[in-house]
Amino acid sequence: MTALKIAIFLIAATAHSAWAESMKVTHITDGDTLWVRPAGGGKPVKLRLAGIDAPEICQAGGRAARVALASRVARRTVVVTTHRHDDYGRAVATVHLDGEDMAGWMVAQGHAWSDRYGREGGPYLKLQGRARSAQRGLFADPQALPPRLFRKRHGSCHP
């Protein structure tokens, strides 16, 4: 991929326009954050999976969430659709592997919560309900604390 295509990808992400591109996963930071680079080469870009909130890395279930996402996408080529940037400078994106939405997969496996939008339960609420009923992953613990509440009580894992 040329520098021009990378620039277009980043401009589209900044402008809140959706832009889909094949990218190679280079690193997984945690259960909802990963680094990708254009499949043809180029500078890595930090992404947050849209629609989910995975446990903080220092929180119960955090390391398992990172391992689950890594086992699924590490060093693989994925299709990234960038929607916007978050407060931490990450591109917020939908990531598909072989047509499967990885955020939905993370929730279905019990490694993340459907991210709430105001009073709404988020885009993966039904998958979360099924994972909770099956007591998969973090939903096996009735005391599991959603990351937004964990951060409110304990702060970020990263000073």
31 contacts 71 by C-beta, under 8 angstroms: no
- Does residue 117 register a pLDDT over 70? no
> CA-to-CA distance for 13 and 15, rounded, in angstroms?
5
Q: Tell me the pTM.
A: 0.85
Active-site residue list = 48, 56, 90
**pLDDT for residue 39:** 80
65 contacts 53 by C-beta, under 8 angstroms: no
> CA-to-CA distance for 84 and 23, rounded, in angstroms?
17
Arithmetic mean of pLDDT, 79-108: 95
Amino acid at position 148, single letter: R
Arithmetic mean of pLDDT, 6-22: 56
Nearest C-alpha neighbor of 159 from the set 72, 57, 60: 57
> CA-to-CA distance for 24 and 157, rounded, in angstroms?
27
**pLDDT for residue 64:** 97
The answer for residues whose C-beta is within 8 angstroms of residue 116's C-beta and 6 or more apart is: 122, 148
**53-82 pLDDT, tens digit each:** 999 999 999 999 999 999 999 999 999 999
**pLDDT for residue 40:** 84
What number does CATH give the domain 3-150?
A: 2.40.50.90
77 contacts 23 by C-beta, under 8 angstroms: yes
9 contacts 38 by C-beta, under 8 angstroms: yes
54 contacts 138 by C-beta, under 8 angstroms: no
